Structure 1
């Protein structure tokens, strides 16, 4: 008997994709989810936030990426896992829906936006799935408890850990798509690895997904690709400069709102966030086109700080940076803060320490924050061995967190000698600016 959960489209729908060539949709549920207003909103949120100001091609959206993750999972459950006794084919539709919807709750400029307003995109993803939304209506047609199951996969609490690991682990469909997609749109070569090989050697086993030992070198390549992408693209210092200014714009607007400042262009879309009582409907109305509208309008605000920061962001007049070690140069930072104030620059907005940190691969450390389930290799004997114990390359970077600190400042202000010459000269000497 045909049910909504098993209903197929009369004719397969195909999306042309630069990474996977084609994305195939035959399930009615998936097609209906793609058509919801909550999913279509992802077209208006860039996958890489402010990275387009560094790599001009990085204009791709969260919707592009979500479709890509769905396609990888579709290939795994339909081609790789299908028919294997260790895989429950009844989990197929749940895996596809969770893959498609895993980024549904991202806000504009994603992580920068979250930090300012203390938000959690995964919590909003679950709220969209469980709330009064078009997505929820589609999922409920499968069964009354189906939305909760999808939300549980996103929250990593679902009982079948195999499904979770497909979408969220140290080698998952999410990472496999964004590494390749981000490499393609930024024009770099770092994110490329042999995904076809990895898919061929993936195996469902007990409560996880493992890799056949013969695929170890493809996984090494994948991990090194991830490492290079983080430091060459995701943590690029120019991108971080744009994020610093973006964050400071939002902080300034929030501060002015709390001071009952009269905005020439009232930030209606932000008011509930400024007050800390944002609703789901408020959140869903925000996308990057809305944010950019306000930034453009605020280029003419009376407040000099908000006006200047918005002009910098909109016109890509970004901060410059110097290497900085907070543990050794704290007194230097204090001295700079005093000098910035003397020069008429608020150090809260014009002198910013930004830190980036990444752990490319880790083995299991029970009880520690952000426990990571390791990648296991399946040996010919049937034994499982954690990847870093078999691979010298992975062992060399396992558990080693790399952190980078930079101090950002507006070089143009400091080079301008129309006023406060002596103070600005002192600042230049400390920063090593000629």
Structure 2
């Protein structure tokens, strides 16, 4: 297939490289000159495991190119819209300017029979509006919606070998042809047995927002339960194990901690609420506002746990050196957008503590957002002389820390495990005061 990908940020760059990797001829298009130059040189503007390898391979094969010239899209048959939909300034609604601009710029270069495929996460009703926009231009191109379900840190695998494919296709004469084109794009995944849900445009849009809303609700639910277990001396991990055996509930994502973040879940659930209110259905998803509140409260809760750990050492917060392990919102990523880890570091710094942080990949991106943040070059450097350690991103190298070795580096033996991933018994045996989320 000859494919264009409009927007070469996280979603678009991964999608373009992955589509070329499975054998298609792909051109990635973006207005950001610096980004295009970087990708054309085989360099990624963000950290994502596996992407540098498939990017280099696809460029070398000649199947993948990048450009700022959208007119080259006229050589393609299928066009993926993969631009961002950030939260609007001053409201919770999604900012649709970039999606609208991408489609507007693409329309003059569409040929009869082309298929425009939306991948961006958008408010329900967007696809129908964009389809009307294409039709009103006089173009005979069709529009479908194919939401992405990427997990940062696993995006390459999730694109090449997805757990499901969703096609939102409008009824009418072009339905079967749109289905054929999408099946051709994803032929390798279909050959591997990937299930496909073929539905209407609105349902396809809702699949992504509903999935994110459910996941966010599950995470906030277990974090809310951890507040209760803290109050009564119960154990949140054992509680999660017990209820997780219920097949109706399941154990995945029932791990209490500092909460979710990143560029998707927080802004997507807020945009979902905003869109529901526009539709007069705000009451249907009002609970998501509380899901968001619980998630934000976890950051303040961790900040307080660290401050309590400092005062137990007999020192003031303003005199304490606090080592922050992690800045990205999750491991295997350098993404600090709406990162709980970065918020905890900033909160503690605002209280006057001496903060030093380390993340294997996110030091630079964190400092770009928080220039006053002091970062270390290694784990040993960040731990040296610490009065309290707080683990806020569960990188494998943090989980694997040897408490006996760590004890030789710190000034006071105290640690707050804000992700509930450390062996409490081992750390206490090494003389540490150990605090976690909802575990006695």
From the two aligned structures, give the one with the greater helix fraction.
1
Report 1 or 2 for greater relative contact order, CA contacts < 8 Å, sequence distance ≥ 6.
1
Question: Same fold by TM (over 0.5)?
Answer: no
TM bin (shorter chain): 0.3 to 0.5
TM-score, structure 2 as length reference: 0.32
When the two structures are superposed, what TM-score results if normalisation uses the length of structure 1?
0.32
